């Protein structure tokens, strides 16, 4: 594979990797509605706060989220409008997959 093209896909894979974790998906999903600060997200997710902070830094460095300081708190928010659409596409894939699995199960129980 040509090395420039390879590099491009490497960078794009980095973005997908950032989204490839349940806690990080939940974070992004919540940030579709409103900006939130770290403690809020920590309560939602339930992991150690240092773990949540690390998830946030992965998402930030991937260019998916952004932050702003307000007093002691750091608010995180989505960076681009297309991100909810990206999530909903991956949800579609999940829904379709589930639909097919159910179909297979049903066909097995038929005469």
Strand-pair partners of 77: 66
Question: Is residue 31 a contact point for DNA (CB under 7 A)?
Answer: no
Q: Judge contact between 27 and 45, C-beta under 8 A.
A: yes
Segment lying near DNA (by CB under 7 A), choices 51-59, 79-87, 91-99, 101-109: 51-59
Q: Judge contact between 55 and 26, C-beta under 8 A.
A: no
Nearer to DNA, 1 or 111 (CB): 1
Residue among 22, 12, 5 at smallest CA distance from 64:
12
Q: How many CA atoms lie within 13 A of 88 on its CB side?
A: 6
Please pick, from the candidates 37, 44, 53, 75, the single residue that binds its own copies as defined by CB under 8 A.
44
Applying CB under 8 A, the residues found at the interface with its own copies are 1, 5-6, 8-13, 15-17, 19-26, 29, 44-46, 62-64, 79-80, 82-83, 85-94, 96-97, 100
């Amino acid at each position: 594979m040509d090395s420039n093209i390879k590099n491009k896909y490497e960078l794009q894979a980095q973005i997908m990797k950032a989204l490839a974790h349940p806690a990080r998906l939940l974070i992004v999903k919540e940030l579709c509605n409103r900006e939130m600060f770290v403690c809020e997200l920590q309560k939602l997710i339930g992991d150690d706060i240092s773990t949540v902070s690390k998830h946030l830094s992965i998402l930030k460095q991937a260019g998916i989220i952004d932050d702003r300081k307000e007093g002691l708190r750091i608010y995180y928010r989505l960076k681009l409008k297309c991100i909810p659409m990206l999530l909903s596409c991956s949800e579609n894939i999940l829904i379709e997959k589930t639909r097919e699995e159910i179909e297979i199960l049903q066909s097995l129980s038929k005469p």
